[in-house]
Structure 1
Amino acid sequence: MKQTFTRNHFQPRPLQTTVHVAHVRFAAGDSHLKLQLRLQNDRKTFFRPIDEKLDKVRYRLQLLAASSSNQSVNSHSKKQQKRRGGAVSGGGTAATVAVRFLDEAGGEIASKGATIGDALMRTTRIEIGDEIFAVLHNQPLVTGLSVLEPVLVGIPLAPLPLTEFCDADECSWRWLRLDSGVEQYEESKGALCCTTRRYTPSETEVGCRFYVECRAPAMRSEVAEDSQAEVVTTPVLPGPNRQVFGQRKRAGAISAAGKHPDARDALRVMSYNVLFSGYTTTNHAQTKLFPYVDDAVMKETYRMQLVFQEIEETHCDVVCLQEMGEQIFHAFFVPMMTSMGFHAFYSGKTGTTHEGCATFVRISSFEVIEEYALNLATAVKQSRDATAKALLTEFPELAKGIDRIPSIAQVLVLRSRRSPQKTVLLTNTHLFYREDSHLIRLLQTAALVGEVSRRRAERGLEDSAVVMCGDWNAFPGTAAISFLLDGQIDSSHKHWQQAPSFRWDLARNGDSSINQLEQGAKVAPGRITHALHLVSGCGIPPFTNFAGTFVGTLDYILVGSDVLEIREVFPLFSEEDVSEEVALPSSKFPSDHVSLICDLAWRE
């Protein structure tokens, strides 16, 4: 995200008397408080623990005021002595400057025993010598403003303000269209086109820029200052032709609850691997995986705008994203999704890569009772399943892999706002990718299923609906998916039988002596089961990943069919749809995966 042009300034309102302004800023739950004021025309900032004694701040203000006063006096004396040709003397004792903290009634706040957190939040006036300061508490500020690039026709543009003690929707907005060729804002050259936060550029505005102004809500105070920030966007570019999403957009025009009037608790769920930006910028990605993708199309801020567009136009209640970049989550998705009424939850993988899973829950549909990240390596090693334990003991290479893989799963407990007695156990995960790691994924899946089963056995959650989303990195029929959909898997499965040949270190796979030993190797009989009654919410699509070197079905929304039924599956895409620009990603599809969406309802 580029901050194309930003400035923040204050416009003081005229005052009848010379009263300066001091700002006190403290948010509930913070351990420190900030005091800002301009003393002798020099800006001072105090960032102090709230339990610190008020006398410490008083003493510091006295020193600063005395120092400023002495500097002014000494400078004047030196000039006079120089004119008289006399010697300039130094030193001297700083005069004590009176510092008083006054409350709303005009009474002085006693400093003995008073703490900064309590006293300064009650202070409405500070007197430092002859200077008077009116105190403003937690004044709303806009300290910066940025927009995502590129600015595209047909894609809603929502600037991202940096604010304190207010949010974007409380601010006042002003958009002026600057004609093509005008690069800097001039009031006379701009045409007012919008007064809300969001604006969608049209085809007639290709080449134009926008001057966007965000103003913080005003305080009820004669000394409060206006706070605003501005940005001038880059020129508007033609947007992608998104007709391929037409059916989905029509299907999502009405919420699940509104679309299925006999099921007032219906919910719409999306699962989507959005392709982490860090996996697109390596030389291997650019030359081997995605050589057919234009750099402008692969740009993260371009792709994430299209991801957001898909989310917004389908009116989902639950959105589970994988390969979510930590930075873009906080900088873009949190402000955008919270402004749409979603609760946002991010969990990073346990490794060094800054990506993970992100789940968004529509607040009007569900209350988030609990949420946490499950470290799958820890969950596998602490599994109570005797068969899973035996596999790790019998095949140390599996255990070695489990230790090194950073996979996590998000677990959330949701309560329906329409029917509070109904709850959902929701998970979101992204399993290990390597093609030969079927048993690794089986153990990860079994651990996650075990966690859901354990939670579902708790009092109050026995009748919970189960929804498990993610990129499972597993084809239909492989060990993990067979276990999920069949409710059981045993040692006769072909991937279980391959356990002796698995090597974490791929270089060792070519060791002929090891392979000879493995030809006669056998696995002990075993079986893993569950009772979640899972079905695939979107069936078995022909593909969910369509890249230049790989096509297959890896993503699933698993639904506990004992409680929920599938009401509608959003239209899937054909091979013709996704191969128009060779493969994915493309100018229309922002990831190498496609999203899955389905409507679910409680069985009556």
Structure 2
Amino acid sequence: MLVRKRYSARRGRCVRRSRLMESEFVKRKSGILSISWTHTTVVVNAITIGKLIKMEKAHLRKLRHSNQCELVFPLRILNENLEVIVEAEIRAVRSCTDVIESLLAHTERKVTKILRTRNIQNINVQTSLTVNDINVKGDINCKDFIDNPKKNIVFSIINQQFEVVLNAPLIQELALPKTIHVNYEFQPIKCKSIYTDKDLCDFIWYSSLDGQSWVEIGNKFKYKPTINDLNKYLKLKCVPKNRDEEGPPFVVVSQSTVLEMSQVPVCPFDDRHTYTKTFLTDKKQIRIVSYNILSNLYAENGNDVTYCSPQALSIDYRKQLILKEILGYNADIICLQEVDLHIFSWYLKPKLLKMYKGLFHRKGYKISEGLTCFVNVERFNVLESNQVVFGNEVETNPLFKRTWRLIQKCDILKDTLTRQKTSLQITVLQSRNANEIVIVANTHLYYHSKASQIRLLQASIALDYINDVYKRYNRISKYRVSVLFCGDFNSVPSSPTYEFITNGNFKNVFQDDNETVIPMHFNHPFQFASACGTPEYTNYTVDFKGCLDYIFYDKNNFKVIDYVPLPEESLLAERTALPNEVFPSDHLALVCDLGWT
């Protein structure tokens, strides 16, 4: 075997070791390997000595999207009294373009550093990697080694040996909700894995009163706590698998015990419901809702909401308020932003199924929250539903070549815009009661406070796409075609984005840090106005209070019949900010009645 050279010190002297064969004898006893050198005696945990003990596994894998590879293994060292002096998971990461020799050297440095921090100076750290007992050449590229399937790979360090598994399934991140309630089914959050087939994985749930003694209670990805789980901690053990391999288990324990759900209180939106007690009966009128309902990704998992109880932030509590609020508006079209996929699939869609058709698009095709449009099936047929991700298509879609020519001149604009997962959802509806087609556009523009130019570019791309759909339906349909543009635009009424949407054109210049001046000129053909005006607040948080949300309608085809007033600021400030026990989101729902002209 190729054995890397390191120094071992005792009584202030340095002894150079080049081969394991320098040991005078090897003594095997109950799986413990004692190796004696002329100057040093070290006792280590033997993972592999003939048939005495089964090898543990080391995992060597490529990390997708990072151009790196990692070697992960459990290091366990005992002293002469069989006491554990080192027990740690070692994770050595190198570029995929590095060679095996570099990976092994890096691994040795990490282990040596651990030993030094614990004042252990009598262990000679040496590594090797073999295939079928033949040493792997040190100059082989790590990626090439991993990509070529092979068996009988053994990694050795000190005197531990591991069976090396290539690209084994791995759970990289897994968490449980901060608040868990009796009789409310939930699932793990922040699920991140590689080389894993979720359908083949084992999910084993346990409960415990003291967090020490655990009883198995379930074996599915989701779990619904029973009354027997009340005031107990929950633990989830996930064993990742794919068709070929099984990866190392991942265990996570709940931060708090299971609670009973509080009763839903009377909320300010109950007063708003007095304006929308029934569905509209006039065939030439429609009611629209636009509402950012605050994804659980940013609510319960965020660290900036300290004024509000964990239960009020939990999605199990908030989803009840959100559903109650939405139902009370008796709307025909409901555009939602920041909708968690599992909340749409397993809660909102089933609850609204009798009256509405629900359409969901993931943000950027990948993120577990996105845009939703619910359509009253008694009023509309859905002709089309699709999505465009601005950053993905701005370079390749001919519709956006004007915008692409602009941002090519500035790396800051180009890089920022193409990196974002911001999306536009398009739903095309045909009225069942009138000769009308409505294109409903729903979006959630980039949030950063200093990115007004990015939002302007995103709005321009969105309107170019909307206009293309509009022109297509004007050609193929005998009905009049109208447009509604709803969403969280993250833009105040004085912003360039609001000016552009409502005026139909925008001219200005952008200058980056390198003093590159880019003239910006955008236009669109629609005559938009904000159906609910520009209220003082549609978003009310600790850090920001202002108007960011709008329902834009085409004044040529629609007129505003009425809109539901928003709550007074005194109500918003009563519990410091939103969300809280009576406001399920940090945004307010916009509700308006429009009539075809």
| Amino acid across the alignment from 1:481 | Y
1:513-564 CA-to-partner distances (Å, cap 9, x unmatched) read xx5x43xx4333x421111101001100101110111112111111011111
CA distance in 1, matches of 2:412, 2:261: 54
CA distance in 2, matches of 1:373, 1:568: 30
**Aligned match of 1:248 in 253, 272, 278?**
272
Are residues 277 and 593 of structure 1, via their aligned partners in 2, closer, same or farther at CA, if it must alter by over 3 Å?
Answer: same
1:100-139 correspondence runs (5 A):
none
Are residues 353 and 455 of structure 1, via their aligned partners in 2, closer, same or farther at CA, if it must alter by over 3 Å?
Answer: closer
Task: Verify the 8 A CA contact 1:387 1:527 in the aligned structure 2.
Answer: no
Residue 275, structure 1, aligned to residue 294, structure 2: yes
Task: Verify the 8 A CA contact 2:264 2:321 in the aligned structure 1.
Answer: no
Partner of 2:542: 548
Residue 333, structure 1, aligned to residue 344, structure 2: no
1:220-235 correspondence runs (5 A):
none
What secondary structure does 1:601 align onto? strand
Task: Verify the 8 A CA contact 1:317 1:361 in the aligned structure 2.
Answer: yes
CA distance in 2, matches of 1:302, 1:396: 44
Shift of 1:385: 5.7
Residue 476, structure 1, aligned to residue 493, structure 2: yes
Are residues 159 and 405 of structure 1, via their aligned partners in 2, closer, same or farther at CA, if it must alter by over 3 Å?
Answer: closer
Residue 452, structure 1, aligned to residue 466, structure 2: yes
CA distance in 1, matches of 2:365, 2:476: 35
Higher relative contact order (CA 8 A, sep 6+): 1
Partner of 2:58: none
CA distance in 2, matches of 1:463, 1:385: 26
Shift of 1:413: 0.7
Shift of 1:418: 0.8
| Amino acid across the alignment from 1:463 | R
Are residues 318 and 563 of structure 1, via their aligned partners in 2, closer, same or farther at CA, if it must alter by over 3 Å?
Answer: same
1:33-60 CA-to-partner distances (Å, cap 9, x unmatched) read xxxxxxxxxxxxxxxxxxxxxxxxxxxx
CA distance in 2, matches of 1:528, 1:320: 26
Shift of 1:425: 0.5
Task: Verify the 8 A CA contact 2:437 2:482 in the aligned structure 1.
Answer: yes
Task: Verify the 8 A CA contact 2:290 2:551 in the aligned structure 1.
Answer: yes
1:75-90 correspondence runs (5 A):
none
Task: Verify the 8 A CA contact 2:536 2:546 in the aligned structure 1.
Answer: yes
Q: Between Structure 1 and Structure 2, which shows a larger proportion of helix residues?
A: 1
Partner of 1:364: 378
Are residues 234 and 558 of structure 1, via their aligned partners in 2, closer, same or farther at CA, if it must alter by over 3 Å?
Answer: same
Shift of 1:277: 0.5
Partner of 2:532: 538
Are residues 271 and 483 of structure 1, via their aligned partners in 2, closer, same or farther at CA, if it must alter by over 3 Å?
Answer: same
What secondary structure does 2:408 align onto? helix
Residue 577, structure 1, aligned to residue 571, structure 2: yes
Partner of 2:410: 395
Are residues 530 and 547 of structure 1, via their aligned partners in 2, closer, same or farther at CA, if it must alter by over 3 Å?
Answer: same
Residue 347, structure 1, aligned to residue 361, structure 2: yes
Partner of 1:527: 521
| Amino acid across the alignment from 1:523 | I
1:123-172 CA-to-partner distances (Å, cap 9, x unmatched) read xxxxxxxxxxxxxxxxxxxxxxxxx9869xxxxx9999xxxxxxxxxxxx
Shift of 1:265: 2.4
| Amino acid across the alignment from 2:507 | D
CA distance in 1, matches of 2:555, 2:314: 40
Residue 239, structure 1, aligned to residue 232, structure 2: no
Partner of 2:318: 303
Residue 428, structure 1, aligned to residue 442, structure 2: yes
Partner of 2:339: 324
CA distance in 1, matches of 2:338, 2:305: 17
Partner of 1:69: none
CA distance in 2, matches of 1:362, 1:158: 28
Structure-1-length-normalised TM-score: 0.54
| Amino acid across the alignment from 2:382 | V
Shift of 1:234: 8.3
**Aligned match of 2:558 in 545, 550, 564?**
564
Task: Verify the 8 A CA contact 2:261 2:317 in the aligned structure 1.
Answer: no
Are residues 361 and 149 of structure 1, via their aligned partners in 2, closer, same or farther at CA, if it must alter by over 3 Å?
Answer: farther
CA distance in 2, matches of 1:313, 1:384: 39
Task: Verify the 8 A CA contact 2:322 2:584 in the aligned structure 1.
Answer: yes
Partner of 1:463: 480
CA distance in 1, matches of 2:454, 2:263: 45
Task: Verify the 8 A CA contact 2:356 2:377 in the aligned structure 1.
Answer: yes
Are residues 281 and 586 of structure 1, via their aligned partners in 2, closer, same or farther at CA, if it must alter by over 3 Å?
Answer: closer
Task: Verify the 8 A CA contact 1:247 1:571 in the aligned structure 2.
Answer: no
1:143-162 correspondence runs (5 A):
none
CA distance in 1, matches of 2:401, 2:264: 55
What secondary structure does 1:278 align onto? coil
CA distance in 2, matches of 1:352, 1:410: 15
Structure-2-length-normalised TM-score: 0.55
Q: Which runs of 5+ in 2 are unaligned?
A: 1-178, 187-257
CA distance in 2, matches of 1:385, 1:490: 18
| Amino acid across the alignment from 2:449 | E
Task: Verify the 8 A CA contact 1:150 1:301 in the aligned structure 2.
Answer: yes
CA distance in 2, matches of 1:354, 1:564: 34
Residue 408, structure 1, aligned to residue 423, structure 2: yes
Task: Verify the 8 A CA contact 2:484 2:554 in the aligned structure 1.
Answer: yes
Shift of 1:423: 0.6
Are residues 235 and 276 of structure 1, via their aligned partners in 2, closer, same or farther at CA, if it must alter by over 3 Å?
Answer: closer
Task: Verify the 8 A CA contact 1:413 1:424 in the aligned structure 2.
Answer: yes
Are residues 385 and 296 of structure 1, via their aligned partners in 2, closer, same or farther at CA, if it must alter by over 3 Å?
Answer: closer
Partner of 2:307: 292
Task: Verify the 8 A CA contact 2:293 2:584 in the aligned structure 1.
Answer: yes
Shift of 1:438: 1.4
Task: Verify the 8 A CA contact 2:417 2:454 in the aligned structure 1.
Answer: yes
CA distance in 2, matches of 1:238, 1:385: 50
Q: Which moved more, 1:292-301 or 1:244-253?
A: 244-253
Q: Between Structure 1 and Structure 2, which shows a larger proportion of strand residues?
A: 2
Are residues 554 and 328 of structure 1, via their aligned partners in 2, closer, same or farther at CA, if it must alter by over 3 Å?
Answer: same
| Amino acid across the alignment from 1:327 | H
Shift of 1:238: 3.5
| Amino acid across the alignment from 1:300 | I
Partner of 1:588: 582
What secondary structure does 2:480 align onto? coil
CA distance in 1, matches of 2:592, 2:443: 18
Partner of 1:44: none
Partner of 1:62: none
What secondary structure does 2:581 align onto? coil
RMSD (Å), alpha carbons: 2.4
CA distance in 2, matches of 1:268, 1:602: 12
Shift of 1:383: 5.0
1:305-351 CA-to-partner distances (Å, cap 9, x unmatched) read 10100111110111111010011111101110113x10011100126
| Amino acid across the alignment from 1:265 | K
Task: Verify the 8 A CA contact 2:390 2:418 in the aligned structure 1.
Answer: no
